[in-house]
A and B are shown apart, each in its own frame.
Chain A
Amino acid sequence: MKQVEIIRNKSKFFIVSLAVIAVGIVFYLINGVQLDIQFSGGTRIMIETNSEVDSNKAEQLVEQALGKSVTAQTQKTNNPAAGDEIIYMLRLDIASEETLTAEERDLVIDIISENFDVKEGGNQEMLSVEPSIGRETLLNGLKALLIASVLIILYVTWRFSAIHGFAAAITAIIALFHDILITLALYPVVRFPLGEVFITAALTIIGYSLNASIIVFDRIRENTRLMKKNTLDEIVNTSINQSFLRTINTTVTTLLTIVTLYVFASVNNISSLMEFSLPLIVGFTAGAYSSLFIAGPLWFIWRKGAMAKSLKNV
């Protein structure tokens, strides 16, 4: 079978990744990223209405009454009990250092009820998060990730000691950061709020991508034994090529499930599931890409650099 020249073209693959991240940065500068109440702290009130309401008007009314900045949005969701019936929700996000008091919340509900066609006995939801715990959720997530990374580095360094496991571990972790950056680049483009769903999606992507990188390193480990006469770039290139089909097939199957979830979610207007599945689609694709075109080539550059150094010392 003809091999794809991955090591020779490695710079091109790096450039593609950097370009995608750059697009994300440009969109970030234009659109910014909205931190969800779950992280920033504040109060979210959701009220069901009988028809779609004017969110700008709602925003102004509530802002005037509270003297706090308010973001209003309308959401449509299909009723799970009756397929063609649509549930209209008005969502008010009041991000502030203090969560709303009971009086303030009653005031908001009164104002909305007076000015709009609120459904009697309809759905109402409320989320109130103190800024301290919101920040903590974010920090705890990051802390857990950091500790997990250190343990993974130790494990990979040990298991892959035959091929300089530390280099493998670090390049695998770099590939993970790459995947998270690419996934993050999606947020300002589609204007999703950055909330707890992102943390879950990021963790799923990391687990998946790490898995794929390890498959590649496993091949390098094996081929280092089997292909003693070949050069390092031949070994790495062959290993990546041998992992190709497996990575493509796994990615296709996983994407089949996630794309199905996304399609179902968008047909039924379930925003929570859309906000979960779209980042996964992007992240899984990035994960497959990085394990084939980033982790292996980076390991190659690292090892080659190290070898050149040790030659000089002799």
Chain B
Amino acid sequence: MKKYGILKLVAVILVIAVCAVLAYNEVKNNNIRTGIDIRGGIYAVLEPDVDKSSFTAEEIDKGLETAKTILGKRLDARNIFDRSINIDSVNDRIIIEIPWAAGETNFNPQEQLNELGKTALLTFQEVDENKVDENGWFLPTGKIVIQGTQVKDAVPAYDEQSGWVVALELDESGAEAFAEATGRLIGKRIAIFMDDQFISAPIVNQKIEGGKAIITGQANATEAAELAATIRSGALPFRLVATKVDSVSPQLGEGAMNVAVKAGIVGFILVCLFMLLVYRLPGFIASVGLFGLAVLTILFVAWTKISITLPGIGGIILAIGMGVDANCVIYERIKEELRAGKTLRSAIDQGFNRAFTAVLDSNVTTLITAVVLYILGSGPIKGFAMTLGIGVVISFVIAITATRLMLQGVTEINVLRNKWLYGVK
């Protein structure tokens, strides 16, 4: 029984040590993603430039989904692959983040974004087999068969015979034009372009009448869905405008981050010293626990690939503060029990048990705040809520499990049973 406790102590310390090594590797390999406010780049909010009341919620959602696809395609065309495009469906807007790329000269972010937010011009064009670019993609010929506005709908579908396809539905004028062109172009290709970018060029198998067609040869559901969304983009009901653009220079953000990290390390050492001074042996154990909290937070951030922003650092500070707090609450309780004459073992058990409700309630209320802010907040507030929520959960688990196991373990080592070590005469 006695050795069992020491074994647990060793196990907890080993787990923390392993996590620390893993976290160190993640940091060394630069696997911590940082937000635009730190690494520099463009943060932009795009909103539909329409009176939202004249659309249904589904229309807006579908439109935004389509717009996201278009934005992705347009950024591809500009060779910007490292970016994130997110739909904020609570506020009906799209948030684009494009990190600063090394060697980039100053460009005009607002112009670029207005360009990105334009209504997409989707066309089905006749193909000239000789007009191809270096990738072997067809170039636009200007011989337009139909336009995106003539497409009523395009959805991915599964067909027993042909596998994944995109099913097209055209309006009346589109159907007429399509029937005429497909009748003429059997065996040839019709290419689909967005703006001037080549998307796809299916071969015409037969004359298509009645405005319903399928495009075969899609590799899987994802590819079919993507092509369908691209084709629908021609029918995007609104233009997007940039209502907020923030372009941050990488040097200044990085400077702030370096200073914050240095201050964090120094602050952490000061906190450990303080805990050691006030609570002695349990203070040392709390410091080990806090170190565990820090490395687990780093691992979580690295593995989930969320971006750390300056407000996010605020969330981490608060979570560490709450971790310290749980320890203070518990240790003050243990001291009280010891003063009341309890044995070490029962004082520790009692201390943890009686402090549990206080620690639980304070953590749950903080978690409530974090969740509400994450759902409703925008931009910087979301980043804060995210790290706070994660930090609170990790710190709660560490305080009531790891710290407790470690403390119970050390009490089984005879030299560490002196009550002075627990801050009581």
Contact = CB atoms under 8 A, between A and B. Distances in A.
Interface string B300-336: 0000000000110011011011101100110010001
A102 B242 CA distance: 13
Contact of B358 (A87, A215, A261): A215
A203 B369 contact: yes
A102 B365 CA distance: 46
Contacts of A206: 369
B79 interface: no
Interface string A124-140: 11111110111011001
Nearest to B321: A254
Contact of A144 (B244, B320, B372): B372
Interface in B142-166: none
B314 A276 contact: yes
Contacts of A121: 105-106
A265 B270 CA distance: 17
Question: What is the predominant secondary structure among interface residues of chain B facing chain A?
Answer: helix
B259 A128 contact: no
Nearest to B384: A200
A69 interface: no
Interface stretch (B108-116, B118-126, B133-141): B108-116
A246 B328 contact: yes
A77 interface: yes
B248 A250 contact: no
A74 interface: no
Nearest to A215: B358
Nearest to B383: A200
Contact of A130 (B243, B263, B358, B381): B243
B238 interface: no
Contacts of B321: 208, 250, 253-254, 257
A127 B247 contact: yes
Contacts of A125: 247-249, 252
B275 A148 contact: no
Interface string B263-306: 11011101100110010000000000000000000000000000
B251 interface: yes
A219 B274 CA distance: 25
Nearest to B247: A126
A89 B310 CA distance: 20
B255 A264 contact: no
A199 B263 contact: no
B369 A257 contact: no
Contacts of A133: 45, 47, 243-244
B244 A156 contact: no
A246 B329 contact: yes
Nearest to A151: B368
A134 B318 CA distance: 26
Q: Which of B106, B318, B364 gathers the greatest number of chain A CB atoms within 10 Å? A: B318
A311 to B, nearest CB: 31
A288 to B, nearest CB: 11
A213 to B, nearest CB: 9
A35 interface: no
Interface string B363-391: 01110111011011111110010001000
Interface residues of A, number: 75
A301 to B, nearest CB: 22
Nearest to B267: A257
Given A200-B311, A203-B381, A260 B266 contact: yes
Interface residues of B, number: 73
B184 interface: no
B256 interface: yes
A230 interface: no
A125 B275 CA distance: 42
Interface stretch (A55-63, A179-187, A267-275): A267-275
B357 interface: yes
Given A132-B243, A261-B263, A264-B259, A253 B249 contact: no
Contacts of A89: 252
B361 interface: yes
A151 B372 CA distance: 9
Contacts of B252: 77, 87, 89, 123, 125
B249 A123 contact: yes
Contacts of B365: 152, 155-156, 210-211, 214
A258 interface: yes
A136 B264 CA distance: 32
Contacts of A72: none
B204 to A, nearest CB: 44
B266 A126 contact: no
B270 to A, nearest CB: 4
Interface string B227-269: 0000000000000001111111101101110111011101110
Interface string B79-106: 0000000000001000000000000011
Interface in A57-84: 77-81
A34 interface: no
Interface string A226-262: 0000000000000000100110011011101110110
Nearest to B272: A253
B353 to A, nearest CB: 12
A144 B368 CA distance: 11
B310 A265 contact: no
Contacts of A46: 249
19 contacts: A80-B258, A105-B108, A128-B245, A130-B244, A133-B47, A136-B91, A144-B376, A144-B381, A152-B365, A156-B361, A156-B365, A159-B361, A200-B381, A207-B369, A214-B365, A218-B361, A249-B332, A257-B263, A257-B267
Given A203-B384, A210-B369, A264-B266, 17 more contacts: A80-B255, A87-B252, A123-B249, A124-B249, A144-B373, A204-B315, A204-B384, A207-B322, A214-B361, A214-B365, A218-B357, A246-B329, A254-B317, A260-B270, A261-B267, A264-B262, A268-B259
Interface of A: 46, 77-81, 87, 89, 102, 105, 121, 123-130, 132-134, 136-137, 140-141, 143-144, 147-148, 151-152, 155-156, 159, 196-197, 199-201, 203-204, 206-208, 210-211, 214-215, 218-219, 221-222, 242, 245-246, 249-250, 252-254, 256-258, 260-261, 263-265, 268, 270, 272-273, 276, 280
